[in-house]
Structure formats: structure tokens, C-alpha cells
């Protein structure tokens, strides 16, 4: 199969946050298609964690992106052609507990990465990952588009909205000249898939509850989110990166990579789908007062569909099935299905006729 026009084969790719959930899956994929990958990240937060289980051989550097000098030295030493910036403080409730860590990592960390890319010759493209929570949430029953107003009530959402302003500033002030890197941002939905053990996320919390034979405590059963398998948004990131590497300046802007409308559903619906794979799953909604979180959140990916020719491949039902299967196989047999799931996704993508893969 030819993926992304083979543009990543032998390409020097830097991933920030490669030890995280998304970053580890992205590193696996880029390794599979022959990229020369380096990663800069903190140590994983949990044991177990997906990065250690994959046991990939790359240029693996552990550093804090809040340290501008060490980030600049690392980027200068590796000389990447493209940077996927995923390193962040990614948790809403953790940001409430420690807003300074949240702001310093998400804002200043992003500034350090972009400024390092500004000073290092040879960087051709940057894809900076933010979140679906960058929009001022009006509890609309329709999807947010890339030109909707940015903002955030909670520290995490606000920091990511500020990241989008920072990215646009670097694009306009520093990267608006010939031979400058092309810089785009990407906003994805609530990702699921095997290998996530982060705190305060639905699937990891569920896995821990089952292992401990406890009832899962849910903050809000009615909260609606755009659920998608992690490979879906990663395909979008890689396709966007391909266009930037091809020097397509019209793609150096913000992009949503969300699921179809049928995958915008409540926590209760996702739990009911999971229960078909884990019959012993039980849950209850907490009565304790919780920090503010959006109740309704949808993404409109019409722009990516029209201009990038990107579409989701898997239904929510299949994404949930494969996620449950990943954790069951790991718990029962110690088997890591990530490579198998990537192969299945590529085969299904090819069959579905998406633009970025051909036999």
C-alpha cells in the first residue's frame, strides 16, 4: 500500500509528546512507513503505558518543553523536515488542580517548539495539535467550524484556544516568507483506542474499574462528545502534513478532524456499546459537585472533507469494539494489538476509497 504518496519514507520527523497516547500511536505509524523518527517528551505518566509496551526503536529524548534552550538544542541537533507538536498537558480536571503547569506547558511549551523551528533551517512543515475544546462553547446542537469564535471556560480549554492564537501569530509574523515552514493546527474529537491509561478519561477509568471489580463513577452520563478512534485523527494529521511538505500554502491554517454526526453521542451511549463487550461493566453517576465542563460538543469536519478529501473510516461501533478488544487481549494474554489494529485500519481505509492510501 502507498500511504500519503510515500512522502514520509526516509523523511526526518520530530514528534513532541511521543510517549503520550496519541504520540505513541503516531510514532508507531510513522515507523511502519519508513520515516526517520525522533521524539521529545517527558516520561509516561502511568504504568502501564502504551509507549513502553510498543518498545519502538527511535531517537528517544526525554525533556520538558517548558525549557526553551533544551528544546532549541534538540531541534537543532535532529534537523527535522516536519514537526508534529503533540506535547501538552491534556487533562481538563488536572488543569483545574494545577493551572500554572497547564498554562506553562500548553502556551510557553508551544512557543518554545515554534521558536526552535523558526531558528532551525530545514524545517519545512509543522502540524500543531490543539483540541476540539478550543471553541467558545455555546451548547449548540451542531458542529463547530474552524472560523467559529475561540475561547474556553476552564483552564485547559482556554490554554488551547490561546495556543491557536499563538500559532496564528507565528504563522503571520515569522513564517510568512519564502522558504519558511508551513504551519497548520489540527483539532480532533474525543479519541479512544487501546493503550490509554490517563486519569479522568472514560475508557481508562472503565478499565481500572473492571480490573478492581468496582462500579464506574461517571461525572455526566448526558455529556455529548465527538468520539473517534485515535487512528482517524492521526490519518488527518499525516494527510495535512503531506500537503504542507508538498509546499501547498493553502493548507497552512486550522483544521477539524472529527467523526460523522452519528458518532456524536452521549457518554451513556458509549457505555452501552462497551457493555456489549464487557457484560460485567457497571456504572453510576456521581452526585458530587463537579468543575465546569461542556455538556454538548460537536465538531464539523466539512472543510477537511471538501479540501483535504479526508473522511473517517470506522464507525463508532467498530472503534468501540476494537478498543475493548485491545484491553481484553492485553489483560488476558499480555498481547499488544496496536500493530494489528493499524493494519486493519489501513486495509479498511483502502477498501473505503479514502484519498491518502492506494494499493
Give the cell for residue 225. Answer: 462528545
Q: ∠ at Cα 206 (200, 207), nearest 5°?
A: 110
* Residue positions counted in the chain: 359
**Contact in structure between 122 and 81 (CB atoms under 8 Å):** yes
* pLDDT value, residue 25: 98
Residue with cell 488527518: 236
What's the average model confidence in pLDDT over 300-329? Answer: 96
Query: What is the third-level CATH fold of 2-288+296-358?
Result: Rossmann fold (3.40.50)
What is the distance between the alpha carbons of residues 226 and 107, in angstroms, rounded to a whole number? 25
Radius of gyration, CA atoms only, the chain: 19
* pLDDT for 19 beyond 90: yes
Whole-angstrom Cα distance, residue 206 to residue 300?
28
Nearest one of 162, 163, 95, 169 to 128, comparing CA atoms: 163
pLDDT more than 70, % of the chain: 99
347: burial class by Cβ within 10 Å (0-12, 13-18, 19+)?
Answer: middle
Contact 84, 26 (CB under 8 A): yes
Q: Is the pLDDT score of 140 beyond 90? A: no
d(CA 135, CA 273): 28
Please tell me the pTM assigned to this model. Answer: 0.97
36: CB partners within 8 A, 6+ apart: 10, 11, 12, 13
Residue 161, C-alpha cell as written in the block: 484556544
C-alpha cell at 242: 503531506
Cell triple for 183: 504551519
Strands 12-16 and 36-41: parallel
Tracing cell 460523522 back to the chain, one arrives at 260
The whole-number pLDDT of residue 213 equals 86
pLDDT category at 216 given cuts 50, 70, 90 is confident
Q: What is the pLDDT of residues 41-84, one digit of tens each?
A: 999 999 999 999 999 999 999 999 999 999 999 999 999 999 99
Query: Is the confidence at residue 280, as pLDDT, over 90?
Result: no
Report whether pLDDT(293) > 80: no
Indicate the range of 77-81, 172-176, 208-212 predicted with least confidence.
208-212
Predicted confidence band at 94 (pLDDT cuts at 50, 70, 90)? Answer: very high
Residue 82, phi-psi category: left (phi > 0), alpha (psi -120 to 50), beta (remainder): beta
| Contacts of residue 297, Cβ cutoff 8 Å, sequence gap at least 6 | 132, 133, 137, 144, 224, 225, 226
The alpha carbon dihedral of 127, 130, 131, 136 has a sign of: negative
Q: How far apart are CA 280 and CA 289, in angstroms?
A: 27
Domain boundaries, the chain: 2-288+296-358
**Residue 11 confidence (pLDDT) above 90:** yes
Can you tell me the mean pLDDT for 235-246?
98
Dihedral pair phi/psi, residue 293, rounded to 5°: -140, 150
For residue 306, count other CB atoms closer than 10 A to its CB. Answer: 9
Residue 78: CB partners within 8 Å, gap ≥ 6? 12, 14, 38, 59
Distance of alpha carbon 226 from alpha carbon 259, whole angstroms: 6
Distance (Å, rounded) from C-alpha 74 to C-alpha 268? Answer: 44
pLDDT over 90 (residue 98): yes
From 17-31, 158-172, 285-299, the region with the lowest mean pLDDT: 285-299
**37 DSSP β-pair partners:** 13
Q: Report the C-alpha gap between 50 and 55 in whole angstroms.
A: 9
Residue 16 backbone phi and psi in degrees, to 5: -90, 140
How many other C-beta atoms are found inside a 10 Å radius of the C-beta of residue 283? 19
Amino acid at each position: 500500500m502507498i500511504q500519503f504518496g510515500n512522502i514520509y519514507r526516509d523523511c526526518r520527523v520530530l514528534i513532541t509528546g511521543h510517549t503520550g497516547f496519541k504520540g505513541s500511536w503516531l510514532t508507531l505509524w510513522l515507523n511502519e512507513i519508513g520515516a526517520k523518527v525522533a521524539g521529545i517528551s517527558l516520561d509516561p505518566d502511568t504504568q502501564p503505558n502504551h509507549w513502553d509496551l510498543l518498545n519502538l526503536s527511535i531517537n528517544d529524548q526525554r525533556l520538558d518543553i517548558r525549557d526553551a534552550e533544551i528544546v532549541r538544542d534538540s531541534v537543532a541537533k535532529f534537523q527535522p523536515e516536519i514537526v508534529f507538536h503533540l506535547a501538552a498537558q491534556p487533562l481538563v480536571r488536572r488543569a483545574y488542580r494545577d493551572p500554572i503547569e497547564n498554562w506553562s506547558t500548553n502556551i510557553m511549551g508551544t512557543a518554545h517548539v515554534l521558536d526552535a523551528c523558526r531558528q532551525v533551517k530545514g524545517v519545512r512543515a509543522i502540524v500543531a495539535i490543539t483540541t476540539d475544546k478550543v471553541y467558545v462553547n455555546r451548547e449548540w446542537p451542531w458542529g463547530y467550524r474552524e472560523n467559529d469564535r475561540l475561547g474556553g471556560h476552564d483552564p485547559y480549554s482556554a490554554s488551547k484556544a490561546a495556543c491557536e492564537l499563538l500559532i496564528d501569530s507565528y504563522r503571520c509574523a515569522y513564517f510568512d516568507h519564502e522558504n519558511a515552514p508551513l504551519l497548520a493546527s489540527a483539532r480532533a474529537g474525543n479519541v479512544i483506542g487501546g493503550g490509554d491509561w490517563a486519569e479522568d478519561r472514560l475508557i481508562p477509568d472503565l478499565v481500572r474499574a473492571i480490573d478492581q471489580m468496582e462500579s464506574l463513577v461517571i461525572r455526566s452520563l448526558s455529556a455529548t462528545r465527538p468520539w473517534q478512534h485515535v487512528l482517524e485523527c492521526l490519518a488527518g494529521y499525516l494527510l495535512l502534513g503531506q500537503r504542507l511538505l508538498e509546499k501547498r500554502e493553502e493548507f497552512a491554517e486550522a483544521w477539524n478532524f472529527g467523526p460523522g454526526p452519528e458518532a456524536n453521542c452521549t457518554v451513556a451511549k458509549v457505555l452501552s456499546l462497551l457493555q456489549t463487550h464487557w457484560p460485567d461493566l457497571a456504572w453510576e453517576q456521581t452526585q458530587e459537585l463537579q468543575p465546569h465542563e461542556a455538556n454538548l460538543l460537536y465538531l464539523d469536519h466539512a472543510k477537511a472533507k471538501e479540501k483535504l478529501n479526508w473522511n473517517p473510516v470506522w464507525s463508532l461501533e467498530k472503534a468501540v469494539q476494537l478498543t475493548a478488544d485491545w484491553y481484553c487481549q492485553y489483560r488476558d494474554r499480555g498481547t499488544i494489538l496496536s500493530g494489528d489494529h493499524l493494519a486493519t485500519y489501513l486495509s479498511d481505509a483502502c477498501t473505503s476509497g479514502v484519498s491518502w492510501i492506494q494499493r
